[in-house]
Structures are given as structure tokens and as C-alpha cells.
Copies of this chain bind each other. A is one copy, B any other.
Amino acid sequence: MKKAVVLVSGGMDSAVVLALAREAGFACHALSVSYGQRHTSELQAAARVAAAMGAVEHKVVTVDLRAIGGSALTADIAVPEHDAGERLDEGIPVTYVPARNTIMLSIALGWAEVLGADDLFCGVNAVDYSGYPDCRPEFIAAFERLANLATKTGVTRAAAGEPGLQVHAPLMRMSKADIAREGTRLGVDFAQTVSCYQADGDGRACGRCDACRLRAAGFADAGLPDPTRYAPGAESR
């Protein structure tokens, strides 16, 4: 069985990615990067998701991005909330963590090299998060190219004329509704996942941040019941 490193955040997207990687026949080594995010309940969700979806192992690597700040998710900046029906902010939101996907993929790359894995999976998605520059197909392609130049594995494969490291972003072109449907098909228990930017200690969602709104709209658009656990007082759906 070929090994893959799968970035698992604890949110709904990466749970579906893990299920897809398993379906494709990979032995999945789940990786969560703890970057000082406020929503530590996501990491607990990541461990539950990894176990439920049959990952070989789950590792957490800590990188303290609070030292550099710059995001509502790591610094003392308020997470924006919205009234239901309000348009989402245009441009790059304050929840953008500078270079986050570059940093997380870099750590995944290091682990892949240690494991001898040629495949990395991540839940990057260009449809709902088009405001994040590191969620675009051209970013993933550039990272894959870098990965093959940066590592022993890449250099060895290239010398042997073999295909090198691959970075898979299977959700790239899916809408949130597509992701909800795909996860449902694969048996993902979305109640175990946490997407909220400011979930409470028990992993219950606020219902008001961008992540909550996109997630709820995804289930609604797919015509599926929303299994999210909301905190008492969360905005009713």
C-alpha cells in the first residue's frame, strides 16, 4: 500500500480528503499542524476524524505562528461575524493566516520524506475561499514543483526518470455542497468535525463566522440535514 501524508485540520473539508485518499488505496498518515490557532477544539476533532476514517497514525506538529501574528486566527484581532443573509467580505479576509498553507504543506513535505511517501493530500479549495491566495490551483502546482526540487525524494525520482512527489487537492473545484455530498457518500460523520473559527471548548460552533456560514450553506444547498453541533445561543440556522 502506498503511503500518503494527509493534512487533517478537524474541519469538514479535510475529513472528506482523508476519506478520498483512503478510497484511492493509500495508507494515510494524518498530520495536523497546531499553529497557535484559537480553535484548539479543531485539533481534538482532527484526532477523532483520523481515527474514524482509518488513518494509520495521527501526528500533531506545533509551530507557533502567534510569534508573527497578522491574523484573526492567531493574533488579537476579532473574528468577523455576520448576520444571516449578509454578503461575505470581499478580498482577503482577516482570518487569512499569512503563508499558512505554505507552512503546513512544508511540514507535510518533511514528514513525507521521512516516511518515504510520494503523495501529499490537502483540503485546499478555490471555490468558497477564493479570497485566500494560497487556496488556488496555481499555488498547489507551484508547491508541487518546489517539493520536487527541495527534497531527497524529488531529486532521486528525477534522477531515475520516475514521477516525483504529488500534491493532491481533490476538493479544489468543489462547492461546499459538493463536499457535503461527497463526504456523505463516503460515510464521513460530519458531526465529529469542527469548522467554526471560534468554536467553544467542546467544539460547538458559533453559527456566525464565515466558516460557519459557508458550512451551513453547503448542507442547505446539498439538501442535506446540517449535523453541526452548535453552541447554546448560536444563531439558529
Contact = CB atoms under 8 A, between A and B. Distances in A.
Q: Closest 7 interchain pairs by CB?
A: A70-B114, A99-B110, A63-B63, A98-B113, A98-B110, A68-B111, A103-B106
A68 B61 contact: yes
A189 to B, nearest CB: 27
A146 B139 contact: yes
Contact of A138 (B97, B101, B107, B149): B149
Contacts of A133: 149-152, 154-155
A92 B68 CA distance: 32
A138 B148 CA distance: 11
In the assembly, how many copies of this chain are there?
2
Contacts of A136: 149
Contacts of A67: 59-62
Given A68-B107, A142-B149, 20 more contacts: A59-B67, A60-B67, A61-B67, A62-B64, A63-B64, A63-B107, A65-B107, A70-B110, A98-B111, A99-B151, A102-B106, A102-B150, A103-B103, A106-B106, A133-B155, A134-B149, A134-B150, A139-B146, A139-B149, A142-B146
